[in-house]
């Protein structure tokens, strides 16, 4: 059976590139009627971060990249944490030792460094001399009598070539003489990733190893381990890395400051930070970072949009189709359509996918998506909960495509959910639209009286009312509508003005206008101005 695996290390939050790899593994398995296995490669206990495991699991689940076997799911070939499989690796290392395909090496770090420097001075490639290799029990006893401790190294071939038929890159050739005698077991008995990964892939019956191209250089030693242990080798496919915006360099979550020089990336992050600020979310660059998948979940992106975008970051169906449902991706995905060149992370294009997918979401689903953001921001306390559903439906309807992310409800429509006497006014907008124009307060006072008598209080009727008012007063609509918007919403921009008035209702609108006029009479920055 076709079986793929994604094997992240719990050393940090899930990188966009890692998610793309997981997605391709998942798509390939589903397209071939196989299984997708999630394995946690936590052999390096010094770098593991327990808190990072759940964001990895939660991030994959959020994206719909579910696993058939693995953590919290189980399966017949577990355990699925390398930290729980140590005895299997030790047994494999011992088998390699017994077969003479690995050896105990007693060299010190200083002795190895001296050999490297000598090779450098002679302008030749470094190849370990195996001077401190214990070939017999007598050698082992002699070295240990000197107080030395041993690691276990692979006894790699020193001649010939290895050719791998990579399913993405085609035939790839390696010269065995260039391969080092890699360490597979530390002096403390713990085994390293390369041995553990090969053993696990065999035990878990992985048929296809699909991973980032940075692992291509690891393949010869892993092939050697697998062949030496008598395993049937999986097929390999190495994916091009995800590149920085507008660059061919690899995208890294540690280069946030550098990426801020890209306008689209900076706007993406700023947008997210505005939402984060409203819900009291810590915007720590280590975790709140557009290179980390959790960023998108926290600010309200659609997982379908992220999946659609990432699928096209290195893969294509043809030269024109970009919009895919998950089912269509599964039906069409194949490794032979993966590009060999790196795909550049494009924040603007990602945003375009988000906006396109958001337009397809029905109002009922959007309501469920935005409610958690309103709750986190504490904006539901002042709302009549009997009216909440119909009110929220109306708000989303009039906001239309302004709500590009679920979190945008806090940036464009928060004023609907605050008490009339707690509405905060944007300082610049208040100064420009209410304080500065000499006629603004007087016109707003007159308009308020007409609004108080308005029946019905709906958008079409209110629009007619305002146009009649401007004709009677002999003014342009811009002389009053901006002041009205700031008075009732606190903002200089937002959904259609008449829709806002109708949703807020007459009583709230009148109270807010009164409050704005009261604040306007104050000569300083009064309470409520922000």
State how far the Cα of 519 lies from the Cα of 523, in Å rounded to an integer. 9
pLDDT at 525: 46
Encoded tokens for 423: 């509405």
Q: Which residues pair with 170 in a beta bridge?
A: 166
The single residue of 253, 366, 404, 448 carrying the catalytic annotation is: 253
- In 220-263, where do the E strands start and end? 235-239, 242-243
Residue 182 has pLDDT above 80, yes or no: yes
| Mean pLDDT for the stretch of residues 390-407 | 96
Strands (E), 96-207: 102-105, 133-134, 151-154, 161-166, 170-175, 183-185
* Residue among 292, 242, 283 at smallest CA distance from 15: 292
Cα torsion at 45, 48, 51, 54 (round to 10°)?
-100
- Exposure string for 70-94, b = 16+ CB within 10 A, e = fewer: bbeeebeebbbbbbebeebbbebbe
Percent of the chain at pLDDT above 70?
97
Buried b (16+ CB within 10 A) or exposed e, 350-371: bbebbeebbeebeeeebbebbb
pLDDT at 526 > cutoff 80: no
Name the 3-class secondary structure at 201: helix
Question: Which pLDDT score, from 0 to 100, does residue 283 have?
Answer: 86
The average pLDDT across 195-201 equals 98
d(Cα 9, Cα 380) in Å, to the nearest integer? Answer: 39
Residue 297 predicted with pLDDT over 90:
yes
Burial class (CB in 10 A: 0-12, 13-18, 19+), 199: buried
Residue 527 has pLDDT above 60, yes or no: no
- Chain centroid to Cα 185, Å, comes to 34
* CA 374/CA 250 separation, integer angstroms: 37
Confidence at residue 46, expressed as pLDDT on a 0 to 100 scale: 58
Residue with tokens 């017949």: 76
- DSSP assignment letter at 107: -
CB 452 within 8 A of CB 501: no
Please answer whether residues 42 and 71 qualify as being in contact, where contact means their C-beta atoms are separated by less than 8 angstroms.
no
CA distances to 85, 192, 197, 268 from 203, rounded to whole Å, are 11, 17, 10, 43
d(CA 369, CA 354): 14
pLDDT band, very low/low/confident/very high, at 528 (cuts 50, 70, 90): low
Q: What is the pLDDT of residue 247?
A: 86
385 sits in which H/E element? none
Cβ atoms of 104 and 133 closer than 8 Å: yes
Residue with tokens 């090779």: 119
Torsion of CA 467, 473, 476, 477, to 10 degrees: -40
CA 396 to chain centroid: 26
pLDDT at 10: 87
Token pair in block for residue 343: 């795909």
Find out whether the peptide bond into 76 is cis, omega within 30 degrees of 0.
Answer: no
403 pLDDT exceeds 60?
yes
Is 253 marked active-site? Answer: yes
What is the pLDDT of the chain when averaged over all its residues?
A: 94
Q: Residue 114 region, left (φ>0) first, then alpha (ψ -120 to 50), else beta?
A: alpha
pLDDT digits (tens, 9 = 90+) for 280-293: 998 888 789 999 99
Asked whether 489 and 417 are in contact (CB, 8 A), the reply is no
* Residue from 82, 95, 133 nearest 228 by CA: 95
Q: Which two tokens stand for residue 24?
A: 């391709």
Angstrom distance (rounded) from CA 330 to CA 248: 28
Please give the share of the chain, as a percent, with pLDDT higher than 90.
Answer: 90
Could you give phi then psi for residue 412, rounded to 5 degrees?
-110, -15
* Other residues' Cβ atoms within 10 Å of the Cβ of residue 300: 22
Tokens 């693995």 correspond to what residue?
70
pLDDT at 48: 53
Position 530 confidence tier, pLDDT thresholds 50, 70, 90? low
Segment 361-376, tens digit of pLDDT: 999 999 999 999 999 9
Query: Tens of pLDDT along 145-180?
Result: 999 999 999 999 999 999 999 999 999 999 999 999
DSSP tag of 244: P
- Per-residue pLDDT of 411-458, as tens digits, reads 999 999 999 999 999 999 999 999 999 999 999 999 999 999 999 999
> What number of other Cβ atoms are within 10 A of residue 393's Cβ?
14
Q: Is the confidence at residue 277, as pLDDT, over 50?
A: yes
Exposure string for 511-529, b = 16+ CB within 10 A, e = fewer: bbbbbbbebbeeeeeeebb
* Token pair recorded at residue 209: 């190893």
Query: Residue 364 to residues 62, 205, 312, 395: CA-CA distances in angstroms?
Result: 19, 43, 29, 12
Q: How confident is the model at residue 524 (pLDDT cuts 50, 70, 90)?
A: very low
Distance, CA of 24 to CA of 110 (rounded, Å): 43
CB 420 within 8 A of CB 511: yes
Specify the pLDDT at position 119.
93
Tell me: the pLDDT tens digits for 472-488? 999 999 999 999 999 99
CA angle 397, 271, 266 (to 5 degrees): 145
H or E, element range at 180: none
């Amino acid at each position: 059976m076709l079986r793929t695996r994604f094997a992240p290390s719990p050393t940090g939050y899930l990188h966009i590139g890692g998610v793309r790899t997981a997605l391709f593994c998942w798509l390939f398995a589903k397209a071939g009627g196989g299984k997708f296995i999630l394995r946690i490669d936590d052999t390096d206990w010094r770098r593991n971060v327990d808190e990072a495991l759940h964001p990895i699991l939660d991030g994959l689940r959020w994206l719909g990249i579910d696993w058939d076997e693995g953590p919290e799911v189980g399966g017949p070939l577990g355990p699925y944490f390398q930290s729980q499989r140590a005895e299997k690796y030790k047994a494999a290392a011992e088998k390699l030792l017994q077969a003479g395909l690995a050896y105990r090496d007693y060299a010190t770090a200083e002795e190895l460094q001296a050999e490297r420097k000598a090779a450098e001075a002679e302008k030749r490639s470094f190849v370990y001399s195996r001077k401190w290799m214990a070939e017999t029990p007598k050698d082992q006893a002699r070295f240990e009598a000197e107080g030395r401790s041993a690691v276990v190294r692979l006894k790699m071939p020193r001649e010939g070539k290895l050719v791998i038929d990579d399913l993405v890159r085609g035939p790839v050739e390696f010269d065995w003489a260039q391969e080092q005698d890699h360490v597979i077991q530390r002096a403390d008995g713990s085994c390293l990733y390369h041995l553990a990964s090969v053993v696990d892939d065999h035990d878990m019956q992985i048929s296809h190893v699909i991973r980032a191209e940075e692992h291509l250089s690891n393949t010869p030693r892993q092939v050697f381990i697998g062949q030496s242990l008598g395993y049937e080798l999986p097929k390999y496919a190495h994916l091009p890395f995800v590149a920085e915006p507008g660059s061919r360099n690899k995208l890294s979550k540690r280069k946030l400051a550098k990426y801020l020089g890209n306008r689209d990336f900076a706007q993406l992050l700023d947008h997210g930070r505005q939402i984060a600020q409203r819900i009291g979310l810590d915007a720590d660059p280590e975790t709140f970072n557009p290179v980390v998948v959790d960023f998108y979940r926290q600010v309200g992106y659609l997982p379908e949009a992220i999946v659609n975008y990432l699928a096209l970051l290195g893969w294509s169906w043809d030269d024109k189709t970009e919009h895919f449902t998950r089912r269509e991706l599964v039906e069409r995905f194949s490794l032979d359509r993966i590009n060999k060149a790196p795909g550049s992370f494009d924040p603007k294009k990602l945003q375009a996918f988000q906006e396109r997918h958001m337009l397809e979401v029905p109002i009922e689903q959007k309501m469920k998506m935005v409610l958690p953001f309103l709750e986190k921001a504490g904006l539901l306390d002042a709302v009549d909960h009997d009216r909440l559903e119909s009110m929220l439906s109306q708000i989303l309807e009039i906001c239309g495509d302004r709500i590009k992310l679920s979190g945008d409800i806090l940036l464009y429509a928060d004023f609907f959910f605050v008490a009339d006497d707690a509405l905060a006014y944007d300082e610049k907008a208040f100064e420009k639209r209410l304080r500065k124009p000499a006629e603004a307060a007087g016109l707003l006072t007159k308009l308020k009286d007409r609004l108080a008598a308005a029946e019905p209080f709906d958008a079409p009727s209110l629009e007619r009312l305002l146009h009649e008012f401007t004709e009677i007063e002999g003014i342009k609509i811009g002389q009053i509508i901006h002041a009205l918007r700031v008075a009732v919403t606190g903002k200089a921009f937002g959904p259609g003005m008449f829709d806002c008035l109708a949703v807020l209702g007459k009583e709230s609108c009148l109270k807010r206008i009164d409050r704005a006029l009261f604040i306007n009479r104050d000569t300083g920055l009064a309470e409520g101005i922000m």
